[in-house]
Amino acid sequence: MSPPSLGAAAPENHDRIESADGGLWASILRILKLLWRPELAKWRPVMAIAVILTLAASVLEVISPLVMGHAINQVAPSGGSAGGFAVAALWLTYGLLLRFAAAALPQVRDWLFSPVSQDAQRVASVDAFGHALGLSLNFHQTRRTGALNRIIERGAGAIDYLIRFLAFNIGPTLVRLVLASIALGVAYDYRLSLIAVATIALYVVSTVIITEWRVRQRRKMNEADTHFRATSVDILTNFETVKSFAAETRETGRFDTAMSEYNTHYVETNRSMYVLNTVQALVMNLGLLAVMVLSALNVIEGRMQIGDLTAVMLMLLSLYAPLNILGWAWREIKQGAVDLEKLHGLLGMIPEVRDVPDAKGLAKPKGRVTFEDVAFNHEGRSVGVQNISFDVMPGGKIAFVGTSGAGKSTLLKLLFRFYDTDSGRVLIDGQDVRTVTQESLRANLGLVPQDVVLFNDTIRANIAYARPGASDAQIREAARGAQLLDFIESQPDGWNTRVGERGLKLSGGEKQRVGIARVVLADPAILVLDEATSALDSATEAAVQDALEHASAGRTTLMVAHRLSTVISADEIIVLEAGRVIERGNHAALLAKGGKYADMWQRQARSTDAALAVT
C-alpha cells in the first residue's frame, strides 16, 4: 500500500544561518516586531516614556548652551558690576540645571528601559532555543553545540546593542544635529550651521567607510572566536576520550592553534580601531577650528558676543560627544545586524520532520507495531533499509540483529519518527506515525539506548525526567523495578547523589539501570532497546538484563542486539544485512536453518568459550 501524501518537509536550509549578511533595515523591523509582541505588552508604557525622555534630553542638550552663552553676555557688557553678575549667575544656574537634566534624563531612561531590553532578549532566546530543540535529529547531528549556543547568545545580545545604539545614541544625535543646526543658523550665523553639518557629514562618512573595513575584520574574528569556543567545548566535553588516548598534549595544541588564529584576528581588529580614532579626532578638530575662526570673526565684526562664542563651542562639543563612539557603535550595529540575522536564520529553518496540520494525538495505544514495505536512505549514504516489513502484536517481542551498519538502529529511528520513510509506512495500532503528533508518539515509546546519557543532576531528578510530576513512591517503585534501589540507598547522599556530567560518576551498569528506571516510570506501551547491554561486562549484563526483562513484561518490545544471548526470548528475530532482511524466525528456527544467524551464534559462542578459558 502506498503511503498517504503528507506534504514532505523541505530539506533544512543550513545556509539561512551561515549566509546571513545582516540587513540593517530588516533588523530594525524585526526588533520593532519583537517589542510589539504580546509578551512585551506590559512594557509599552515604559517604551513610550523612554522615547519621550530621549527627545527631551536632545532638546535640552541644544538649549542649555544657548542659556549659558546668554549668561556670559549678561556680565560682559556690565564690566563686572554686581547687578550684571547677579543676572549672569541666575542664567548660568538655569543653564547648568538644564545641562544636568540633559545628562540625567538618559540615565533615567536607561534605568527604566533595562528590564525591557532584558525581557526582549529572553523572549528571543527562548524562541530560538525552543526552535532549535524542535529541529530534526539530522540538524543536531551535523551542528556543533558550542557554535549553536553562540549563535543564540550573540543574536539575543544584538537586540540590546541595536536598541541602545539606534534608538538611544544614533537617533538622538540626529535629532540634536537638526535642532543645533537650526539654532546656530537662527541665533547666530547660517554658515555655522553649514560647517557643523559638513563636519558631521564628513565625520560620519569617514567613520562608516573605515568601520565597514573593520566589520569585515570583525566578522573574521567572530568566525575564529566561534571555532575557538566550539573547539574548547568539544575537547572538554570529550575529556574522557582525550584521556583514554593520552591526547592531552595533542588537544592542547589544537586549542592553542584555534586561540592563536583568534588572537591574530583580534589584534588586526584592534589596530584598525586606532586608525579610526585618529581620523575621527582629525575631522572633529578641523570642524571645531573652522567654527571657532568664523565665530571669532563674527565677534570682531560685532555680529556676535563673547558669550555667543562660548555657546557655539558648548553646543558643538555636546553634539560631538556621542559621535566619539560612532565607529564602535556602527560596528556593533552592523555586527548586531549580522548576529540578529543569524538568529532569525535559525528561527527560519524548517524541521525535516514536522507534524502535519491536522495531526492528532496518539491515545494510549495497545502497542501493535507494523512496518509495511519500509525503505529509507540516510543523506549522503548509499546503504539504508529496503523493503522491511514486520508486524508485532501487543505485548510481543521482536529483535533485530546483524553486522554494524546493517540498518538495525535506523528502524528504531523510523519508529520514533526521527526520520520519515522514503516509501512504505510505519504504523502503531494501525495509525501511520506521520499522521500523529511527534510529542504524543514519543510519549508512548520508551527508549533504553546503548549509552544512557544523564543530566548533571541527582539520581532522583534523572529518573523523574520521564515524568516530572511523579510522586516519590512512583519514583521509588521505578527504581525497584530497574534493580537500582539498593544502590541508591547505599549512597551517602541517597536520592540526592549527583551523577556528574553525562552521568560519568556512575558505572555503565548503573547508568543503564537509571535509564531503565526512567523508562519504567514513563510507563510506555512500547519499549525500545537499542543495544542496551552491549557495552557491559557479562556480570553487569546479567543484572541489567533481568531489569530489562522486568521492564518489558506486558509491553511490546523492539530490540536491537549485538549479543545474541539477549534475543533468545524474542518471538521473532530479523537478521539484516546491507539494509535488507536475509533471515527471520525465532531463535530455534534460525539455528536449525544453519544460515547467517547460526553462524553469528557459533562465532559468539566460540568467543565466549575462549574468554572463559583464558580466565
Reported as a single tens digit per residue, the pLDDT across 94-131 is: 667 777 887 888 888 889 888 888 888 888 888 878 77
Residues 367-380: what's their mean pLDDT? 84
**What's the sign of the alpha-carbon dihedral 371, 372, 373, 378?**
negative
Do 15-30+39-347 and 453-523 agree at the fold level?
no
Residue with cell 547467517: 596
Of 609, 51, 58, 588, the closest CA to residue 315 belongs to: 58
φ/ψ of residue 504, rounded to 5? -70, -10
Q: What is the pLDDT of residue 94?
A: 63
To the nearest 10°, report the CA torsion of 270, 276, 278, 281. Answer: -130
Give the pLDDT band (50/70/90) at residue 85: low
Helices (H), 321-471: 326-347, 408-415, 438-443, 459-464
Distance of alpha carbon 460 from alpha carbon 514, whole angstroms: 9
Residue with cell 533481568: 546
Spatial separation of the C-alpha atoms in residues 563 and 557, rounded to whole Å: 17
pLDDT at position 256 is 92
Topology (CATH) of 361-444+526-615 = Rossmann fold (3.40.50)
Taking the mean position of all CA atoms in its chain, how far away is CA 41?
A: 24
Fold adopted by 453-523: Rossmann fold (3.40.50)
Contact 440, 361 (CB under 8 A): yes
pLDDT score, position 608: 58
Instruction: Output the nine-digit C-alpha cell for 7.
Output: 506534504
Kindly state the DSSP code that residue 81 receives in the 8-state scheme. -
Q: So what's the pLDDT on residue 167? A: 75
Percent of the chain with pLDDT over 70: 85
Residue 109 CA to residue 53 CA, distance in Å, equals 6
Mean pLDDT of 73-91: 57
Q: Which residues pair with 448 in a beta bridge?
A: 529
For residue 43 the three cell numbers come to 512594557
Measured CA to CA, the distance from residue 447 to residue 433 in angstroms comes to: 17
- The arithmetic mean of pLDDT across residues 351-377, rounded, is 84
464 vs 349, residue with greater confidence: 464
Looking at residue 10, what is its pLDDT? 36
pLDDT band at 7 (very low <50, low <70, confident <90, very high): very low
Q: Name the residue ranges covered by the structural domains of the chain.
A: 15-30+39-347, 361-444+526-615, 453-523
Q: Which three cell numbers stand for residue 225?
A: 572566536
Amino acid at 201: A
Predicted pLDDT at 11: 38
Residue 67 in grid coordinates: 542659556
Q: Is the pLDDT of residue 169 over 70?
A: yes
Please tell me which residue, 354 or 389, carries the higher pLDDT value: 389
189, pLDDT greater than 60: yes
pLDDT surpassing 70 at residue 615: no
pLDDT-derived band at 91 (thresholds 50, 70, 90) equals low
pLDDT digits (tens, 9 = 90+) for 288-307: 888 888 888 888 888 878 77
Q: What is the pLDDT of residues 127-144, one digit of tens each?
A: 878 777 777 666 665 665
Q: Could you confirm whether domain 15-30+39-347 is CATH 1.20.1560.10?
A: yes
Residues 6+ apart with CB under 8 A from 178: none
Is the pLDDT at 80 greater than 60? The verdict is no
- Report phi then psi at 337, rounded to 5: -65, -40
Q: Are 76 and 49 in contact (CB under 8 A)?
A: no
Query: Is 612's pLDDT higher than 50?
Result: no
CA–CA gap between residue 182 and residue 192 (Å, rounded): 10
What would the pLDDT profile of 327-359 be if each residue is shown by its tens digit? 667 767 777 777 777 777 777 777 777 777 888
pLDDT at 136: 66
- Mean pLDDT, residues 59-76 taken together: 74
If you ran DSSP here, which 8-state letter would residue 360 be given? B
CA distance 595 to 402: 12
The confidence score (pLDDT) of residue 501 equals 76
Q: How far apart are the first and last CA of the chain?
A: 54
Q: What backbone torsions phi and psi does residue 450 show, to the nearest 5 degrees?
A: -65, -40
Calculate mean pLDDT across residues 534-560. Answer: 74
Q: Is the pLDDT of residue 78 over 70?
A: no
Choose among 180, 444, 414, 225: nearest CA to 335: 225
DSSP 504-556: TTS-HHHHHHHHHHHHHHH--SEEEEESTTTTS-HHHHHHHHHHHHHHHTTSE
Cβ neighbourhood burial of 119 (10 Å; 0-12, 13-18, 19+)? middle
Question: Across the chain, what does the average pLDDT equal?
Answer: 79
